[in-house]
Chains A and B, each alone.
Chain A
């Protein structure tokens, strides 16, 4: 398997649930990202990990908690989300910063 793989593809959760999104990249890249895509909005950068260290956190609420155990894996832990957090969550990786390779995303619905 090649590229960037995200699981699950779809997730429905209640506001009191705890869930995690998983991302794995098989490209040998050294940076990984979480993006959020809401309807009719630009892609919003949430978190960046470079060489497994978090280098950016764009004022994301603490109910989103990223984890990057190694350069190939990235998680987004979700806890007590709100309905407005429903969106497509995209993982990406890169070696050269300007060219991102995206996964297929997790479509999240918060009820």
Chain B
């Protein structure tokens, strides 16, 4: 059973608009969440993270929101740029238990001109 779910395999957004990528998790022990970005023929690169003691973390155009009661997090990209076209992986871990990082299946984001 998947502990980290990205239910949208793909998403298309107009350049300049806001991109919102969603992620749901089932394990209430998760206390650290990450987003990775992957271009074709390259490995995933770390984008942004958030600890469960926060509900928002912002880094430039990227903001991650965490709703612990709903076990849901989202990544907002604004404004979206052509270079943002990539696959985005949501990931989670239970640092207190020293558990491994669990990845979602990814969402492919297309930024339209």
Contacts and interface: CB of A to CB of B under 8 A. Distances in A.
Please determine whether chains A and B interact with each other in the same assembly.
yes
Contacts of B106: 42
A103 B41 CA distance: 10
A111 B4 CA distance: 32
Interface stretch (B61-69, B77-85, B93-101): B93-101
Interface stretch (B13-21, B42-50, B52-60): B42-50
Given A42-B103, A56-B100, A98-B101, A103 B43 contact: yes
B111 interface: no
B105 interface: yes
A42 B102 contact: yes
Contact of A102 (B45, B93, B100, B104): B45
Interface SS majority for chain A: loop
A100 B101 contact: yes
Interface residues of B, number: 24
B44 A90 contact: yes
Contact of A97 (B36, B95, B103, B105): B95
A98 B103 contact: no
Contact of B105 (A42, A92, A104): A42
Interface of B: 2, 4, 9, 32, 34, 36, 41-46, 49, 89, 93, 95, 98, 100-106
Interface of A: 4, 6, 9, 40-43, 45, 48, 56, 90-92, 97-105
22 contacts: A40-B9, A40-B105, A42-B4, A42-B103, A42-B104, A42-B105, A43-B89, A90-B43, A91-B43, A97-B93, A97-B101, A98-B101, A99-B34, A99-B46, A100-B46, A101-B45, A102-B36, A102-B45, A103-B43, A104-B42, A104-B43, A105-B42
